[in-house]
Structures are given as C-alpha cells and as structure tokens.
Structure 1
Amino acid sequence: MTLLEICVDDAAGFRAAIAGGADRVELCSVLELGGLTPMPGLMALATNAPVPVRAMIRPRAGDFVFDQGDVKAMLGDIAAARQAGLAGVVLGASLPDGRLDVETLERLVDAAGEMGKTLHRAFDLVPDLAEAVEQAVAIGFDTILTAGRARTAPEGIADIVRAHEIADGRLTVMAGSGVNAGSVRGILDRVPLAAVHGACGRPARPDSEAAVRLGFVSPDRRATSRDAVAALKAALA
C-alpha cells in the first residue's frame, strides 16, 4: 500500500487530514507560500496524533539559501519538534547555484538525530539529479519529496521515475505537488512509489470584509478538505 502524506497548516486541516485517512501528516504554516515552520502550539496539538507527524523546518519564505541566522533558527525549530514528540522533520537547503547545501544539511540532520527526515522540494532546484539523490542518501534522509524538478509531479514524472531508479530502495522518493484523486493513478502507473504527498486543499471560506480590507487575509489561502483526502486515499486503494 502506498503511504499517503497530507500537508496541513492549521488545526482544522490537521483534523481533516486524519479524518480523511492520511497515513502521515506534514505540519506547516502558510501553505500558500510553500509551507513554513509550524507554530509551537500547532506542534503541541499534534503530540498525541494517531498517525506519524513530521514538521516542516523552513524559517522564512523565498529560496532555500540560508545564512547562519536562518540555520540557528532551524536548529531551534528541530529541537521544538523533538520536544513536541513529533516523528520527524522536513528539511532542505540550497547553494546559490541550486545544488544541495550539504554542509548545512548535515548539521540539520545531525540535530534531528533519530527522527524521520524528509528532504523537501529544495531537491527540485538541483542541476544534477543523480548527484542530489546520492547526496541525500549519504546525508541520512529517508525520504525525498519531489515534483521531478517541475511545478507539478505529473509534469515532472520522467525525473521522478529516474530519481526512484537511482535511489534503488535506499530511501523513499515521494511525489508531491499536483497529486490528487484524479492524477495519482497516472503517476503510480509510471512508477511504483512507496509514498505520495498531497495538500487536498479547497478555497477557504470567505473571511470578514474587515479582515480582507486590513490585509490580514492571503488571497491564496486554502483549507484542507476531508473529502478530498478521502478521495485520494480511495484512489490509492
């Protein structure tokens, strides 16, 4: 059975993911920016979850080229995830040319210790796919989340197939972005992945006019849909 991971960014989304049948949850904040580190309170809420939970460790929006201040914040966030009893963390760091920042990633992975470790879509910026897979294995990741260096997994399926072949069982290649009940079978028909990753979001309910007027609302905000999660889970059955 292919593992279904759902990314969420609030308490309601967390409940919807579990109710819909997620096998694992990636806990974030601000998914409309690709996901940032979740607040400590949300991590604490997930402490006794019935499924494993991994926390995104990303201190700011933008690229994945991090300075020492960013790295220090990420080390603190990893410690918070461990303190909350979460199963794992989701990490990534790049050099300016898109290659993986191996030195920074080694520090972060070492800090994560025995926790599960996913290399996030910083992987999709790399110029050399094979080199990046080998680096991820050597650093100690157990999972790579990727859309095959494309915007969505269906568009990047050729690179996902290639990464899966290069990994050769040494870690899990997990397709993400554009993965839903309508697309997942087409992906898995091309490559027998052990895990897929989806957001299963729907446009969020309208906010108050005052909140919109004062700029407190992101126009791209979406809410995790229990029904969409359940449909994706069913498509995997």
Structure 2
Amino acid sequence: MTDTERPRLPLIEICVEGIDGLLAAQAAGADRVELCASLVEGGVTPSFGMVRAALELARIPFHVIVRPRGDFLYSDAEYRSMLADVRTLRELGVAGVVVGCLNADGTIDEKRMSELVQAAGHLNVTCHRAFDMTRDPTDALEALIRSKVGRVLTSGQRDTALEGVALLADLVRQAGKRIIILGCGGLDPNNIAEVRERTGLTEMHFAALKDVPSAMRYRNPRVGMGGTDLDREYRNTVTDAALVAATIAAAKA
C-alpha cells in the first residue's frame, strides 16, 4: 500500500452486528470493522457462516470477536473453544481476531493470551475491553505487550472516552510503538475530534447504532424469546450509515 492509499489518521474501526452492519459501515467509509454477534451482550462470537459471507462481501479488513459469552473469566472448556475458533478463523482468512482473558484477581491472563496469539499466527490480535475491567491498567498494558498482542481496545476504564481521556492519553504515551491503543467509548460527531486531540490516538472505534422496527406485519404480543421486553422481538438494532459517515468526517477533519 502506498502512502497515498493509506487511510488518513485516525484509522476508524466500526463495531457491527452481522453482515448488514458490515456493509453499512463499509459504504460509509470505515477503514476496518469488528464483526460481532449480539451487541446487546457486548458482542459475542459470530457464526462461521456469517464470517464466510463477510469474506465474500467485504472490501475492507474485518476482525472477528472471539468471545463465548459475557464476562472475561472462562472455564477450561470455553477457553478450548476459543482456541479452536481462532484457529478456524485463521484458516478462513480473516484479517484479525479480538480476544480477552482475565484472571479472577483482575489481571491479564498472560498464559491464555499468549496461547491465543500463537494460535492466531499471522493474524492481527486485539485485546477487547476486558482491559477496561483490569485492576491496574499500567500493569495490564505491559502484560499484553509481553503476550505479543497487537492492539488494545479501551475507553480509559470509564464508560466514555471523554470520561477516560486522561488515562487514554497516558496509555498512548506508555504504549509508544510497542502496541496500538484503539480508543472507544461513546464517540460521536460532537466529541471524537476532542478525544483525538487530547489523547493522540491513531485508531478509534465506535458503534453507530439505531433501533428500527421489524418488517413483520403479524406480531404475537403474548410471547417473547428472552427477557420481559416483548417488543424486542420486533425491534432490530442496525448500524446507522449516516452517523458512521458523520463521525468519520468529524474525526478526520
């Protein structure tokens, strides 16, 4: 890739749920996508059918989250499934994987993270926001560097990047050229430029989502497939391409 072909910084990654989200982010000018299922749970591993469809349709790189469920402390069986997923994704030819394992004491599980990096081989490896649940972010970043992780997704251990901006700036300085800090957390057209200016981030991540009604005409009001929010069965959360484009424009202005 020549200098003129490289994306203008910051590089923008969009977190999406499914193929339609990937296509919307791609059309709106994203540089990269994080492909997930079930963003209502914070994102879990998508099906391999979804990944194969994405490989056929994507014109930009995408990284696949490997997360069997919420939380970041996994049983041995769950961890073995993660290793198997990473190996399969490498064979399928995705650009990268997104993983994260903690110990019960709030530290990075270096053994598992190192093994996941080894299983990924040549793929890009990102540690997701498991990092934001660690006891000591300075120590956690060094642990990820020792594990040879390539980047870490973080909001500065706060709900939003604006709230975590001081730690984000510290992490960028601590990381240097050893690992990439991928900043996230409530980024939108009104704040993304400020966060970039105050932190020095070169990569930024957000999910531009909106709820839209289902196209179903018949609706059974007496049955829900999970929880008590019966209307959830007839409400879809989708990537808002216009919001993606507006946020990218604000970030790269």
TM-score by length of 1: 0.94
* Residue equivalent to 1:171: 179
Q: CA deviation at 1:118?
A: 0.5
1:46 partner SS: helix
1:50 to 54, 59, 63: 59
**Structure having the higher Rg:** 2
Query: Given residue 35 of structure 2, which amino acid in structure 1 is its aligned partner?
Result: L
Q: CA deviation at 1:99?
A: 0.8
* Residue equivalent to 2:195: 187
Distance verdict in 2 for CA 1:174–1:95, change over 3 Å: same
**8 Å Cα contact 1:27/1:38 also seen in 2:** yes
* Residue equivalent to 2:159: 151
| Cα distance in 1 for residues equivalent to 2:212 and 2:74 | 31
Query: Given residue 216 of structure 1, which amino acid in structure 2 is its aligned partner?
Result: M
* Residue equivalent to 2:239: 224
2:186 partner SS: coil
Q: CA deviation at 1:115?
A: 0.2
2:22 to 14, 20, 24: 14
Q: CA deviation at 1:103?
A: 1.1
RMSD value over aligned CA atoms? 1.7
* Residue equivalent to 2:103: 95
* Percent of residue pairs bearing the same amino acid type: 34
Question: Structure 2 matches for 1:1-237, cutoff 5 A?
Answer: 1-48=9-56, 49-61=58-70, 63-206=71-214, 208=216, 210=219, 213-216=222-225, 219=232, 222-237=237-252
Distance verdict in 2 for CA 1:139–1:236, change over 3 Å: same
| Cα distance in 1 for residues equivalent to 2:54 and 2:151 | 21
Q: CA deviation at 1:212?
A: 6.3
| Cα distance in 2 for residues equivalent to 1:23 and 1:143 | 16
| Cα distance in 1 for residues equivalent to 2:181 and 2:224 | 38
| Cα distance in 2 for residues equivalent to 1:155 and 1:222 | 26
Give 5+ residue unaligned stretches, structure 2.
1-8
Distance verdict in 2 for CA 1:221–1:73, change over 3 Å: farther
| Cα distance in 1 for residues equivalent to 2:82 and 2:177 | 29
| Cα distance in 2 for residues equivalent to 1:190 and 1:28 | 29
2:13 partner SS: strand
Distance verdict in 2 for CA 1:211–1:174, change over 3 Å: farther
Query: Given residue 22 of structure 1, which amino acid in structure 2 is its aligned partner?
Result: A
Distance verdict in 2 for CA 1:190–1:67, change over 3 Å: same
| Cα distance in 2 for residues equivalent to 1:119 and 1:211 | 41
Give 5+ residue unaligned stretches, structure 1.
none
Q: CA deviation at 1:226?
A: 0.8
Deviations 1:183-237 (A, max 9, x none): 2011012011110001110113246463664323774852101111111111122
TM-score by length of 2: 0.88
**8 Å Cα contact 2:166/2:199 also seen in 1:** no
Aligned residues: 236
Query: Given residue 68 of structure 2, which amino acid in structure 1 is its aligned partner?
Result: P
| Cα distance in 2 for residues equivalent to 1:46 and 1:11 | 6
**8 Å Cα contact 1:32/1:221 also seen in 2:** no
